[in-house]
Amino acid sequence: MLALAQGFLYSAVAVAPIMLVVPLLQSSAVFRLISRLLNPAHEVFGLRVIIGAILSIVGACTVSIDSSLILNAVGAPDDLARLLQWRV
């Protein structure tokens, strides 16, 4: 199952933009928190797991934000903005 999941991951990255695929993959942290509510006797949770899941969700949301919005909000100089928006 793990090999199949990795195959689907690489297939998704090959077909769709990575900025779309990675936040969708990080949504598993949301389901991890929901499973804690549904199966409290079967899930081993601690404060570290909950903090890690929340940080993962915040990171996925941060990655999915358009970089030009962040640069405009920060008020970065034009030269720095061009450098940060450079793509391969």
Q: Name residue, tokens 């970065």.
A: 76
CB proximity list for 47: less than 8 A, separation 6 or greater: none
Cα–Cα distance, 28 to 38 (Å, whole number): 15
Q: Copy the structure tokens of residue 76.
A: 């970065």
Q: What crossing angle do the helices spanning 28-38 and 18-26 adopt, rounded to 10°?
A: 10
Is the pLDDT assigned to residue 26 strictly greater than 80? no
Give the rounded percent of residues in the chain with a pLDDT score beyond 70.
97
pLDDT of 32: 75
DSSP class of residue 44? -
pTM score > 0.75 for this model?
no
